[in-house]
Amino acid sequence: MALFFTGILMLVLGYVFYGRLVEKIIAPDGRETPCKTKFDGVDYVALPHWKNMLIQLLNIAGVGPVIGVIIGIKFGEIVFLIIPIGNIIAGATHDFLAGMMSLRGGGANLPVIIRENLGKTYFKFFSAFMAFLLLLVVAVFINVPAELIDKSAGQGNLFWAAVAAIFIYYVLATLFPVDKIIGKIYPIFSALLLIGTFAIFVAIVYNLFGTPDLLSESGAFKEKMWTAANSHPIIPLLFVTIACGIISGFHGTQSPIIARTMASEKQARSSFYGMMVVEGVIGMIWAAGGLAIYNLFPETMSIKATDVLIKITNHFLGEYMGAITVAGVVILAITSGDTAMRSLRLSIAEIFKIDQKPIFRRLLTTLPLMAVVAALLAWSNASAKSFNQLWNYFAWGNQVLAASTLLAGSVWLFRRGKTPLIALLPGMFMTFIVLSYIFWISPSHGGPVGFGLELENSYAIAAALTLFLAAAACIRGKKMGGISEENLR
Number of domains into which the chain is organized: 1
pLDDT for the residue 484: 44
Question: Of all residues in the chain, what percent carry a pLDDT higher than 90?
Answer: 49
Task: Flag whether pLDDT at 485 surpasses 50.
Answer: no
**Mean pLDDT (the chain, rounded):** 87
pLDDT for the residue 387: 67
pLDDT for the residue 180: 64
Mean pLDDT across the stretch 213-225? Answer: 93
CATH number, domain containing residue 361: 1.20.1740.10
Q: What is the pLDDT of residues 115-143, one digit of tens each?
A: 999 999 999 888 888 888 888 878 877 88
Task: Flag whether pLDDT at 144 surpasses 90.
Answer: no
Please state, in angstroms and rounded to a whole number, the distance separating the CA atoms of residues 218 and 423.
38
Task: Flag whether pLDDT at 384 surpasses 70.
Answer: no
Mean pLDDT across the stretch 455-478? Answer: 95
Task: Flag whether pLDDT at 243 surpasses 80.
Answer: no
Range of the domain at 210: 2-487
pLDDT for the residue 383: 65
Q: What is the pLDDT of residues 411-427, one digit of tens each?
A: 999 999 999 999 999 99
pLDDT for the residue 483: 54
Least confident of 80-89, 339-348, 364-373: 339-348
pLDDT for the residue 489: 46
Other C-beta atoms lying within 10 Å of the C-beta of residue 371:
10
Q: What is the pLDDT of residues 163-206, one digit of tens each?
A: 888 878 877 776 776 566 666 676 777 777 778 788 899 999 99
Q: What is the pLDDT of residues 13-33, one digit of tens each?
A: 999 999 999 999 999 998 999
Task: Flag whether pLDDT at 207 surpasses 80.
Answer: yes
Higher pLDDT residue, 393 or 26? 26
pLDDT for the residue 182: 64
Most confident of 20-24, 55-59, 245-249: 20-24
